[in-house]
Amino acid sequence: MNIKELNPSQLAAVTYNDGPQIIVAGAGSGKTRVLTYKIAYLLEQGVLAGHILALTFTNKAAREMKNRICQLVGEQSARYLWMGTFHSIFARLLRQEAELLGYTHDYTIYDTTDSNSVIKHIVKDFNLDDKVYKPSVVHGRISMAKNRLQSPNLYASDREYLMRDRFDKMPDMARIYAEYNRRLKAANAMDFDDILVNTHTLLQKHPEVAAKYQDIFHYILVDEYQDTNRAQYMIIRKLAELHQRICVVGDDAQSIYSFRGADISNILNFQKDYPNAQLHKLEQNYRSTQTIVNAANSLIRHNKGQIPKAVFSELNIGERISLSTYMSDRDEAKAVAKTIHSLAPSKYSYDDIAVMYRTNAQSRVVEDELRQLGIPYRIYGGMSFYQRKEIKDALAYLRLVTNMDDNEAFLRVINYPTRGIGDTTVGKLYAAARENKCSLMQVAIAPDKMTNDLSAATQKRVLEFAQMIERFAEDMGKKDAFFFAQDLLTETGILREAKNDTTPEGIARYENLQEMLSGIHEFCERRKQEGEEITLIADFLAEVSLLTDQDQNLDDDQARVTLLTIHAAKGLEFGATFIVGLEENLFPSAFCQTVREIEEERRLLYVAITRSMERCFLTNAKQRFRNGQVTFTTPSRFLKDIDSQFILNMDTQRATKVTLSRMPSVPTVKPSHNLTATTGLQEKSKKRTIRSEWKKDDRVTHRVFGAGTVLDVYRENDNDKIDIQFDNVGKKTLLITYAKLERL
């Protein structure tokens, strides 16, 4: 192994192994290289592989790192490394110690499907509404509580949790959580979150076990430390107590997974946890041009919660980042597709181009335009818009209405959303259809005549479904396709079910359904311009069938443009990137209300920009069709955060300048170059009194936090803020623009 290949900063990080260490690795700075060389260096210094614990977040990362280490020092030297994901390593540990926690060593690990099934049965046994207590939603809340090490008892006494559950009409959450844990234990089973919770419990309640593993793990290395949750943090701290040789690697500027439980304070407070820790910064970016690096730096500088670093590049200066504003999201997508067409394949391979967006729903219009130009693409970490489950469900309803003999569509939607028609009933309907040589819908229209196997109550439910489909079939030729689809998705309950699911996955499903309606609306408008007085839903389905057929016939070896969410893009790089939809309430998300949430959204844009090696294009639209209506937008506040010297306003330059002047105010404070002794955060800026509709002692209510009393209203770093002492959850600081307060 030749460590002289490393730059001075990398070399210093690799060779220091005498105590706690934090390696802050800027984007494209060779983080993985440093981590692999560090482990290889330890092995070459005579440290036994069995004394090294290396934790990653994915099996892929662990495999790649292990292979590189083997190439550096040989397979035999690296053979007994404790290297893998948090869950794989701790599951291995628990196998050996499970009896101390009341499990046998052959305990079962439940996946998400298993967990949801248990929750479904609990909801039924408790006689609760399964449309409110949906397994995925319940499991998500239990998972978040476990990641924060909150037991059922702690959950039941947490006022913020209880208030949120009451607001969402789920007051029995704590009871379900307790019963869920009891049933898993009785089944000698753990879910994924239990692997972390039980490892923490084992180490805390059994000092002899903690001492055993503290003695085994002389060196502990943690990758992507900014993504660790509370449970992972506590386990790592306990294991490192004896030797204190802990090395964490990460980048606070790329902490973007709080919705999964990640806690940025773990990395920000590392030097507080270990006062004698060595701080090493990897600041040279080997990926991007100087301009892209400088632009990203100017953006992230506006975050207060960060470890200051001066990321730089010695590559070419490169071209400025392109910024374009378009009249509509359709115009935006057309322009992106045309630009890609001009770049590939002469300047870039399709494989070297990516289009990134804040939400999955945004892919639809981009997909449409890429298809129009014959540009091949792939959806990274997901599927094409029309292949997503919720979209296929909605299309199945539309297909069934237009062709009531479509048995496949019938089977897909007969019990979606849930209406008490289970697999047994469906089996009886199918048997009756075969016997009578007719379609399933014909059986459903007259269940009393077609079969004797159904109870009166079941017949009633089946008949109600069939009559609903018949009503829509009668209206099909009377309504424009958009209004028809909107009414159908509303009456069937599909939209309501998706909207009531407040998990990230549920929000994404609702956005996708709304985007499908937007697509139908666009289709109707296009047909109107072509002279059609009315566009029927059958016309839209004909077009979609052609699109979905294209999705089925992909040549896997063909170079393709990558479409992906920014969250999925972390860790990837491309020659040219397009970041679309840079508008308020989209990016940053409309769900962001606090300063902490806004800062995470800014970090998300930082991650997006730093995926670019050479070319980066930022785009937005003045209007989008969302939620059944045209929505006029304003450019994202983050565009104003990027130093203008790194931005080139493109062919819509005049419109862009006008709209930029109307963007919301943003923080302009530059970060301090010193961390505070206690938190690692920069010092607070001065506050200024402002005029506002709110004043001290006003009684207000918030949709999540409930009732409270205003403590202060002020401007800080050009952001209008309000401090509120909530009755049940204590003091919160909110951005006034997004707080959506009501007066009591």
Q: Which residues are catalytic?
A: 31-32, 223-224, 254, 611
Distances (CA, A) of 245 to 241, 415, 555: 9, 56, 49
**What burial class does residue 286 get, using C-beta atoms within 10 Å of its C-beta: 0-12 exposed, 13-18 middle, 19+ buried?**
middle
Query: SS3 of 622, please?
Result: strand
Beta bridge partners of 714: 689, 721
φ/ψ (deg, to 5) at 308: -60, 140
* Separation between Cα atoms, residue 540 and residue 448, nearest integer Å: 35
- Helix (H) / strand (E) element for 90: namely helix 86-97
- Name the residue among 236, 226, 235, 237 with its Cα closest to residue 261: 226
* Radius of gyration of the chain from its Cα atoms, rounded to whole angstroms: 28
Q: What is the DSSP string of 279-339?
A: EEEE-EESSS-HHHHHHHHHHHTT-SSS-----EE-S---PPEEEEEEEEHHHHHHHHHHH
* Separation between Cα atoms, residue 247 and residue 13, nearest integer Å: 10
| Number of alpha carbons in the 13 Å side-chain half-sphere of residue 718 | 13
Taking a C-beta distance cutoff of 8 angstroms, is the pair 722, 716 a contact?
Answer: no
Beta bridge partners of 699: 709
**What burial class does residue 167 get, using C-beta atoms within 10 Å of its C-beta: 0-12 exposed, 13-18 middle, 19+ buried?**
middle
Q: Between β-strands 719-726 and 706-716, what pairing exists: parallel, antiparallel or unpaired?
A: antiparallel
Would you give the DSSP letter of residue 597?
Answer: H
Question: Crossing angle of helices 173-186/135-147, nearest 10°?
Answer: 80
Would you give the DSSP letter of residue 683?
Answer: P
φ/ψ (deg, to 5) at 425: -65, -45
Beta bridge partners of 189: 108
Beta bridge partners of 578: 355, 617
Query: Three-state secondary structure along 483-552?
Result: HHHHHHHHHCCHHHHHHHCCCHHHHHHHHHHHHHHHHHHHHHHHHHHCCCCCCCHHHHHHHHHHHHHHHH
Would you give the DSSP letter of residue 635?
Answer: B
Residue whose tokens read 């300063």? 595
Q: Which residues contact 670 (CB under 8 A, 6 or more apart)?
A: 301
CA 356 to chain centre: 13
Each residue of 377-390: b (16+ CB within 10 Å) or e?
bbbeebebbbebeb
Taking a C-beta distance cutoff of 8 angstroms, is the pair 606, 254 a contact?
Answer: yes
How far is it between the farthest Cα atoms of the chain?
A: 84
What percent of the residues of the chain are helix, what percent strand, and what percent coil, each to the nearest 5?
Answer: 50, 15, 30
Taking a C-beta distance cutoff of 8 angstroms, is the pair 659, 634 a contact?
Answer: yes
- Name the residue among 628, 523, 638 with its Cα closest to residue 586: 638
